Chains A and B, each alone.
Chain A
Amino acid sequence: MTADMRWRSVIGLEVHVQLSTASKMFCRCEARFGAPPNTLICPVCTSQPGTLPTLNGEALRLGVLAGLALGCTIDPSTKFDRKNYFYPDLPKGYQISQFDRPLCRDGHFKFSTEEGEPREVNIVRAHLEEDSGKIIHPEGVNFSLVDLNRAGTPLLEIVSGPDLHSPDEAMAYLQELRRTLRYAGVADCDMEKGGFRCDANISIMPVDSDTLGTRTETKNLNSFRFVAGALQAEIERQAAVLESGGTVIQETMAYDPDTGKTSVLRSKEDAHDYRYFPEPDLPEFRVDPAWVAELSAGLPELPRARQTRYAVDLGLNKRDADTLVAEKELGDYFEATLEFTKKPKETANWLLTELLRLSNDRKLPIHELNTTPARLAELVNLVASGGVSIQAGRLLATAMEEQPGQSAEQLAQSMDLVQLSDDGALRQIVEQVIESESSVVERYRSGNVGLLNALLGSVMKASRGKANPKAARQLLLDTLDS
């Protein structure tokens, strides 16, 4: 029996998200990843004596938006507290955060497991705080290096209840959370740049028990794989401890992705006394309920709602709906195109095949292609109306991207892709084929209805592929049966 089968896990996640602001939380240095060390700093974020914090209003707005997207109650008056501890990447010797009155609390967040099962998680709280700097440990020397570019970057810490029960569920929650925050325009959640970091709390208990076990915390996991790995490692470690008759100690763990194991970082006795107290340099800030209501009304459609609408209202299949909802830009592009086509399935099809292919080939995001939603719509409509065949449409898509000055029709003409659908020219070809293939026609008329396809093939051949098969088939039927 594996550990997973005898034990039930109880998991809570704390996610630190870097908010999409231009400047830092408490000073107006640029908040940007990847600059040369200590170039995005100022007296405030390097804690020079006599400096004071000022709150970034955009960070406040994004924090409120995030809370709304997570179904939280927003505090009508928000305050900050100091969290006191010493570390070289924390120049003030304290972090300005929120302790007893977080900006957002009591939210509910729905997501689905990979198998499609619905889940709901409580969002206990989400609060604003500032990020620390970065420490680098060069090999083989007895010193470390500190870069304060990141110090002061606005963070939102989102705390879930202990409502997750497996590493897979945890992953699914994180993915939906990330997607939701991107949709709301709150954060890019770029994990490579440290924009989305997770602390995982986990305890285990026997499957038939109700008593919660002792939990451990594993900090600063900045990839989904690490989260799943760390959780799995902890489940196994805790199971081994309990099975050998020991007790799990409440500790902070570190995860080593190379070994796939967790190890103790800090035990409870060494746990910090942060001596939280209200930040005297910042007053309380009013968060006007009318403003919050405005923000709420302005929230974009969130991924799950959009997914349902695509599947149920627009009739898209699950796979297509999932793909379109994966990134907000994709769905937005889809809907913009839909304005012109009013044909959900065809639009989805062309977007997910040809447009993504073009994006891939040209190594450009879809909104930077020459093919705008209006242009894509031209193509979709042309194919749907029978103007060109589907195969021709694929060629046309590439041509349209390369020659943005030309309309779809113009290109279809110049590339000789126009499909024959009109009665005149097509009728001529059909009559010619019926005349030249009289023996086949006779056998068809005497009951071999399958031969219609052969005749259709001849029509296609005679038209050099340009006949609209549906129209041709109908015309054949009409002519043959008359």
Chain B
Amino acid sequence: MLSATSIAARVRSGEFDPQDVTEEAIARLQERDLEVHAYLDPDIERARQLADRVAETLRRGDDPGRLAGVPISLKDNMAVHGATLTAGSKILEGYRAPYDSFVAQRLIAEGAVLLGRTNLDEFAMGASTENSAYGPTRNPWDTDRVPGGSSGGSAAAVAAGIVPVALGSETGGSIRQPAALCGITGFKPTFGSVSRRGLVAFGSSLDVIGPLAAHAQDAALVYDVIAGHDPADATTWTGTRPSATTEKADLEGLRIGIPEEFLDEAVDSRVLESVSTAIKTLEEGGAITKVIPKGALPSMHHSIPVYYLVACSEASSNLARFDGMHFGPTSESKDTLDLLARYCATRADLFGPEVRRRIALGTFALSAGYADAWYKKSLSVRRLILNEFTALFGDYDLLAGPTSPFGAFKIGERSQDAYSMYLCDLLTAPACLAGLPSVSVPCGLARKGTYKGLPVGLSLTGPAGQDHRVLAAARAFEAIRGTPERSPIHGDDA
């Protein structure tokens, strides 16, 4: 699978025909997705129309854009006008978005060919994509295993070599964790650097859209295209975002700290081993690395409760609009002539168990009598987490560590115990709570143990607004280490 950067260059130069590129991607989708189920809807007609448009632009002699002809898949929680927007849920079955998300507009304007709607945990709530109401996605490295979540479909689509890039969203780890489990690059931008307009909201103060890519430079390219201030999203910050594509990919002199809190005993030892090797690679590149003794990020220990309490509180409110009254399906149960019954039946029948769990948890945390001890308390601890990161960035340019405590676990392994699934976010949630830019880069396969032969991800986190520097470090790392290992389904086609 050629990189998106390469495809775009060749489409622009005339070497590649955009319609051929698209047909090849469609063929790969139809063949490989039978095993993987990364897609909820291949949405092939739209891809062909967009490819035609690129071809037409080229015929006219106009600039077809930075992503000309590149097939990109979007997670099915990002609105594309006329496409499905299930958010992995039955409560949006059959619903088609009446408008475009900001990211879709940006991609299309730069000539991208949107191919298919990828699978996700329902409403982005999960770390394995097993919570999708439409069946799980399988990891291209081992189809008995999960691809991670909630952007499991996007990660699997890229790891299977169907498309070079896909978009995912992250609230507690949903871009980086599946990227790590699938052996690809996944980047979570600074909160507010990419517009959330058109993203089905889960945890509004946490949600960020970002790229998953087989080549680190593609993550940078797509980031440059989708990042920007959007007047329709009041939480995007004004001002330019420096280009991630042109930023010098150089590790020389970079001060990289590895907080001991990231090397938690909950992390699998083989994962740690791969990460240690990766740290050495960073040093090879000229970075100055240092393990930061425990005590610099003491509040990180509470990331899971803080993340879940904040995210679920916001989600309990964001999901109130799904009531079967103004859009989407409504409950088929009888006795729904009564207003109250209609609300209750629709939401009980059409929301899955994890979603119901989180709505209940969030409702609890915001309830009178409990809000101070749970919601407000969490927000105070959240500020401590932010402060601790800010202090560290006084001395370090980047913070490194494993992305996920585990490699790809088996389907069904964690799905019976909600809390065991929540632990997947142990290492990713802190950067989400603080709104910091963070990338996961593939750093090899576990040599032995439970996750033998499965990918491990190295996480690099930077200060707010330094998205370009974080992506530059990822590009530099990949340049030193070489092309990452590819999944069996992806094969060796570059």
Interface residues of A (CB under 8 A from B): 43, 46-55, 82, 84, 86, 88, 91-94, 142, 146, 148, 273, 275, 277, 280-283
A277: B residues at CB distance < 8 A? 313-314, 317, 366, 371, 375
CA distance A287 to B59 in the complex (A): 52
Given the contacts A275-B367, A277-B375, A281-B204, A48 and B343 also touching, CB distance less than 8 Å: no
Are B321 and A91 in contact, CB atoms less than 8 angstroms apart?
yes
Interface string of B260-284 (1 = CB under 8 A from A): 0000000000000000000000000
Cα separation A48 to B368 with both chains bound (whole Å): 28
Check if B16 is an interface residue, CB within 8 A of chain A: no
Within 8 A of A (CB), among B233-278: 233-235
Q: Which among B78, B101, B199 has the greatest number of chain A C-beta atoms within 10 A?
A: B199
CA–CA, A84 to B343, complex, Å?
15
**Residues of the A chain whose Cβ atoms lie less than 8 Å from the Cβ of B363:** 275
Most buried by B among A49, A92, A93: A49
Q: Which residues does B use to contact A, with CB under 8 Å?
A: 77-79, 85, 87, 92, 95, 97-99, 101, 196-201, 204-205, 231-235, 313-314, 316-317, 319-323, 325-327, 337, 339, 343, 363, 366-368, 371, 375
Q: Which B residues lie within 8 Å of A273 (CB)? A: 367-368
Q: Tell me how far the C-beta of A275 lies from the nearest C-beta in chain B, rounded to whole angstroms.
A: 4
* Inter-chain contacts of B99 with A (CB < 8 A): 43, 48
- Determine which of A47, A84, A142, A281 lies in contact with B234 in the assembled complex, contact meaning CB atoms within 8 Å: A281
Residue in B205, B234, B322, B339 whose beta carbon sits within 8 Å of that of A54 in the complex: B234
> In the docked arrangement, what's the CA distance between A286 and B95, Å?
38
Contact present for B232 and A54 (CB under 8 Å): yes
Collect the chain B residues with CB atoms within 8 Å of residue A146's CB: 325-326
The answer to whether B320 and A88 touch across the interface, beta carbons within 8 angstroms, is: no
Residue numbers in B under 8 Å from A55 (CB-CB):
234
Known: A50-B85, A88-B339, A91-B321. A281 touches B235 (CB 8 A): yes
Give the chain B neighbours of A47 by CB distance below 8 A: 321, 326
> A51: which B residues are within 8 A, CB to CB?
197-198
7 closest cross-chain pairs (CB), A and B: A93-B320, A280-B204, A275-B366, A280-B205, A47-B321, A50-B198, A49-B200
For residue A58, give the distance in angstroms from its CB to the closest CB of chain B: 16
Contacts of B323 in A (CB 8 A): 86, 93
B104 to A: closest C-beta gap in Å? 10
A48 to B99, CA, bound (A): 9
Residues of B within 8 A of A88 (CB): 325, 339
Contact between B231 and A46, CB atoms less than 8 A apart: no
Contact check: which of B231, B314, B321 meets A49 at CB < 8 Å? B321
Q: Could you tell me if A50 and B200 are in contact, using CB atoms closer than 8 angstroms?
A: yes
Tell whether, in the assembled complex, residue A93 and residue B321 are in contact, meaning their CB atoms are under 8 Å apart.
yes
Contacts of A93 in B (CB 8 A): 317, 319-321, 323
Tell me whether B317 and A82 are in contact (CB under 8 A): yes
Partner of B320, one of A50, A52, A92: A92
Contacts A142-B337, A275-B371; A50 near B78 (Cβ below 8 A): yes
Contact (Cβ within 8 A) B317 A283 = no
Name the contact of B327 in the complex, choosing from A46, A84, A142 (C-beta under 8 A): A46
Q: Which residues of A contact B204 (CB under 8 A)?
A: 280-281
10 more A-B residue pairs beyond the given contacts A46-B326, A91-B325, A277-B313, with a C-beta to C-beta distance below 8 A: A47-B321, A50-B101, A53-B234, A84-B317, A88-B339, A275-B371, A277-B314, A277-B371, A280-B314, A281-B235
Q: With A273-B368, A275-B371, A280-B205 in contact, do A91 and B197 touch (Cβ < 8 Å)?
A: no
A455 to chain B, nearest CB (A): 82
- Is A52 within 8 A of B197, CB to CB? yes
Chain A: CB-nearest residue to B231: A54
Chain A residue, CB-CB nearest to B233: A52
Instruction: Give every chain B residue within 8 A of A49 (Cβ-Cβ).
Output: 79, 85, 87, 92, 95, 97, 200-201, 321-322, 327
Residues of B within 8 A of A142 (CB): 337
Interchain CB contact under 8 A, B321 and A92: yes
Chain A positions within 8 Å of B321 at CB level: 47, 49, 91-93
Contact B339 A283 (CB under 8 A): no
Contacts known (A93-B320, A281-B204, A281-B235); A48 close to B327, Cβ less than 8 A: yes
Residues of A within 8 A of B85 (CB): 49-50
State A119–B313 Cα separation when bound (angstroms).
45
Contact A48 B98 (CB under 8 A): yes
Closest to A51 in B: B197
B92 neighbours in A (Cβ, 8 Å): 49
Residues of A within 8 A of B368 (CB): 273, 275
Is A282 within 8 A of B325, CB to CB?
A: no
Shortest Cβ gap from B392 to chain A (Å): 25
Closest approach, in angstroms, between the C-beta of A137 and any C-beta of chain B? 12
Bound Cα distance A2, B366 (Å): 47
On chain B, the residues within 8 Å of A280 by CB distance are 204-205, 235, 314
CA A51 to CA B326, docked complex, whole Å: 14
Chain B residues near A46 (CB-CB < 8 A): 326-327
Kindly report which residue of chain B lies nearest to residue A89, judged by CB atoms: B325
The chain A residue with its CB closest to the CB of B201 is A50
Q: Are A52 and B366 also in contact (CB < 8 A) when A46-B327, A86-B343, A280-B314 are?
A: no
- The answer to whether B197 and A50 touch across the interface, beta carbons within 8 angstroms, is yes
B78 to chain A, nearest CB (A): 7
Most chain A CB within 10 A, of B196, B322, B323, is at B323
A50 and B199 within 8 A (CB): yes
Q: Given the complex, which residues of A lie within 8 Å of B200, measured CB to CB?
A: 49-50
Bound-state CA distance A88–B342 (Å) is 11
B196, A52: Cβ atoms under 8 Å? yes
Complex CA–CA separation, A148 to B325 (angstroms): 12
- Is B234 touching A50 in the complex (CB atoms < 8 A)? no
Measured between beta carbons, the chain B residues less than 8 angstroms from A48 are: 97-99, 327
Nearest to B123 among chain A residues (CB) is A49
Min CB distance, B232 to chain A, in Å?
6
- Could you jot down 18 A-B contacts, CB within 8 Å? A43-B98, A46-B326, A49-B85, A50-B201, A52-B196, A52-B235, A55-B234, A86-B320, A86-B343, A91-B325, A93-B323, A146-B326, A148-B326, A275-B371, A277-B317, A280-B314, A281-B204, A283-B234
Report the separation of the CA atoms of residues A135 and B466 in the bound assembly, to the nearest whole angstrom: 49
Q: A50–B200 Cα gap in the complex (Å)? A: 4
Q: Which residues of A contact B77 (CB under 8 A)?
A: 50
Cα-based distance from A86 to B317 in the complex (angstroms) = 10
Q: Tell me the bound Cα distance from A84 to B196 in angstroms.
A: 22
Q: How far is the CA of A473 from the CA of B313 in the complex (A)?
A: 89
Q: Kindly report which residue of chain B lies nearest to residue A27, judged by CB atoms.
A: B232
**Nearest chain A CB to B228's CB is how many angstroms away?**
15
Residue among A55, A88, A273, A280 with most chain B CB within 10 A: A280
- Select from chain B the residue with minimum beta-carbon distance to A285: B234
Question: Nearest Cβ distance between residue A285 and chain B, in whole angstroms?
Answer: 9
Chain A residues within 8 Å of B316, by CB: 84, 275
Residues from chain B with Cβ under 8 Å of A82 in the complex? 317
Q: Which residues of A contact B327 (CB under 8 A)?
A: 46, 48-49
Q: Please tell me which one of the listed residues B78, B232, B320 contacts residue A84 in the complex, with CB atoms under 8 A apart.
A: B320
Q: A50 touching B79 by the CB < 8 A rule?
A: yes
CB distance from A221 to the nearest CB of B (A): 24
CA–CA, A142 to B313, complex, Å? 35
Q: Which residue of B lies closest to A271 (CB)?
A: B368
Q: How far is the CA of A82 from the CA of B196 in the complex (A)?
A: 19
A92 to B320, CA, bound (A): 6
**Minimum C-beta distance from A136 to chain B (A):** 14
**C-alpha gap A88/B343 in the complex (Å):** 10
- Closest beta carbon of chain B to A212's beta carbon, Å: 23
A44: min CB distance to chain B, Å: 9
Which residues in B have their C-beta under 8 angstroms from that of A283?
Answer: 234-235
Task: Determine how close the nearest CB of chain A comes to the CB of B125; give it in whole angstroms.
Answer: 14
What distance in Å separates the Cβ of B341 from its nearest Cβ neighbour in chain A?
A: 12
Please measure, in the bound complex, the distance between the C-alpha atom of A277 and the C-alpha atom of B318, giving whole angstroms: 12
- Nearest chain B residue, comparing its CB with the CB of A133: B326
> A146 vs B198: C-alpha distance in the bound complex, in angstroms?
25
A48 to B205 alpha-carbon distance, docked (Å)? 19
Q: Return chain B residues, CB-CB under 8 Å to A50.
A: 77-79, 85, 97, 101, 196-201
Q: Complex Cα distance A53/B196, Å?
A: 11
